[in-house]
Structure 1
Amino acid sequence: MSTQETCPLCMPANETVLWSNDTLRVIAVEDSSHPGFTRVIWRDHVREMTELPAAARNQIMDAVWLVEQYQRGVLQPDKVNLAQFGNMVPHVHWHIIPRWSCDSHFPEAIWAAAPLRSIVEKQRWDARKAQIDAVLPHYHAALTKALSAL
């Protein structure tokens, strides 16, 4: 079986696609602990950014920057994390993750163990998360419209 046949980004299932074209797609990552988490995925099975021609690298990064801009504008996080690893899934994709100083993992990476939180800190995050969840549909709609103009 080829790598493409086993690659979860080549053979997606149950994705919430916000926007796509012939070369990439932007999805909402369904992660209740990290609202607004968005992924930009290169459509073809390519392992490294440097395997893409310069114009293609610019195209994917334009989408990444746009996602970050709309996260900052609509969701108003304290910080935005950008990550492109490919260790687990060797297929070019970017994680754009809005972060709040009171979120469940801050200041650690979302893939790290969550720091211990007091009841008050958990309640603070729950209240902030409810506000974020309320604006997520607006973020998704605004981002989709902006991506369509790329």
Structure 2
Amino acid sequence: MSGPEQSFVLHERLEADTVSLGQSGLCEIRLMNDSSWPWILLVPRVAGVREIYQLSQEEQRHLLAESSLLGKGMMELFDGDKLNVAALGNMVPQLHLHHIVRFEGDPAWPGPVWGKQPPQPYSDEELAAVIGKLGPVLRTLGSER
């Protein structure tokens, strides 16, 4: 990895807005606490990285492989119409890759989800159900929760 993993610290905004789903080989796997959309973030555990090009070539390949496995699994589980994948970082500079399953007719369709409506936090029951549903996908990523 480019930077020592020991010095990696998850950005406080990501910590506050998401729920841990464990770790893959490279990333923290985080569920956005917004039940409006199936929405998972991959956050490479590499300190000081803001952009994908700052990762080593090996880390870039690893991130793409994990992103592809996650996206495929999410689309199969949730039967979405489109998968949005984005690394914006305008509000949170730490590199994180959003994976959002979209449905024709969802509250923001066809526009972006950001700023469309306030987040709808998961209830305890909804959170347990979505984490259970995601189990097979998380296992493909090697996640240990």
TM bucket (normalised to shorter chain) is: 0.7 to 0.9
State whether structure 2 residue 138 is matched by structure 1 residue 144.
yes
Higher relative contact order (CA 8 A, sep 6+): 2
Comparing 40-49 with 100-109, which one deviates more in the overlay?
Answer: 40-49
Report the 3-state secondary structure (helix = DSSP H, G, I; strand = E; otherwise coil) of the residue aligned with 1:82. strand
Unaligned runs of 5+ in 1: 115-131
Matching residue of 1:107: 110
Give the aligned residue type for 2:43.
Answer: I
> Structure 1's 103 and 96: CA in aligned 2 closer, same or farther, altered over 3 A?
same
Structure ID, larger Rg: 1
Matching residue of 1:52: 55
- Aligned mates of 1:134, 1:72 — CA distance in 2: 19
Unaligned runs of 5+ in 2: 1-7, 118-125
Matching residue of 1:41: 43
> How do 1:4-15 and structure 2 match up within 5 A?
7-8=11-12, 12-13=15-16, 15=18
Give the aligned residue type for 2:32.
Answer: V
State whether structure 2 residue 67 is matched by structure 1 residue 64.
yes
- Identical-residue share of aligned pairs (%): 23
Contact 2:21–2:131 under 8 Å retained in 1: no
TM-score (norm 1): 0.72
Matching residue of 1:30: 33
Contact 2:50–2:94 under 8 Å retained in 1: yes
Contact 1:22–1:43 under 8 Å retained in 2: no
- Aligned mates of 2:93, 2:67 — CA distance in 1: 18
Q: How far apart are 1:99 and its partner, in Å?
A: 0.3
Report the 3-state secondary structure (helix = DSSP H, G, I; strand = E; otherwise coil) of the residue aligned with 1:140. helix
What RMSD, in angstroms, separates the aligned Cα atoms of the two structures? Answer: 2.9
Report the 3-state secondary structure (helix = DSSP H, G, I; strand = E; otherwise coil) of the residue aligned with 1:50. helix
> Structure 1's 47 and 134: CA in aligned 2 closer, same or farther, altered over 3 A?
closer
Contact 2:69–2:141 under 8 Å retained in 1: yes
Query: Number of matched residues?
Result: 127
TM-score (norm 2): 0.74
